[in-house]
């Protein structure tokens, strides 16, 4: 009986410590000039292949991230990509990003036919 109780207590503590070794990344992505939220921006952590899209308020949440340091990239069509190294601890880490418009000039297109 004592061995079963000891085993159950050990399993409980191990699962609690495993849960405590992951964190959550939350934040908001906005336009740097207008401060309007960017809906549908992609927030991605390449090394663990986890990501999220921003909602109608420009907010995102990525859960169950193992603790450690990661490069977070944020992309949105027509804007410069944003990259930042961030340390994720147990609990919630916040990252807000203001993206700048990427003005790309295109050459003329000639259509023949």
pLDDT in tens, 48-76: 999 999 999 999 999 999 999 999 999 99
Residue 42 lies in a domain: yes
Q: pTM higher than 0.95 for the full model?
A: no
Is 72:78 a contact under the CB 8 Å cutoff?
no
109 belongs to a structural domain: no
Range of the domain at 91: 18-99
Decide if 69 is inside a domain. Answer: yes
- Residue 2 domain-assigned (yes or no): no
* Rounded percentage of the chain residues whose pLDDT exceeds 70: 81
Does residue 90 belong to any structural domain of this protein? yes
Residues facing residue 23 across a β-bridge: 65, 91
Q: What is the mean pLDDT of each run of 10 residues along the chain (113 residues)?
A: 61 55 97 98 97 98 97 97 97 97 78 83
Which residues contact residue 34 at a Cβ distance below 8 angstroms, ignoring those fewer than 6 apart? none
Residue 1 in any domain: the answer is: no
> What is the total count of domains within the chain?
1
């Amino acid at each position: 009986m004592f061995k079963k109780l000891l085993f159950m207590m050990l399993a409980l503590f191990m699962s609690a410590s495993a849960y405590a070794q992951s964190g959550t990344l939350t934040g908001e992505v906005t336009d740097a000039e207008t401060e309007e939220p960017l809906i549908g921006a992609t927030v991605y952590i390449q090394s663990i292949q986890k990501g999220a899209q921003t909602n109608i308020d420009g907010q995102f949440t990525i859960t169950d991230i193992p603790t450690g340091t990661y490069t977070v990239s944020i992309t949105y069509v027509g804007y410069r990509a944003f990259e930042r190294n961030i340390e994720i601890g147990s609990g919630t880490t916040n990252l807000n990003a203001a993206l700048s418009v990427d003005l790309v000039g295109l050459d003329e297109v000639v259509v023949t036919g």
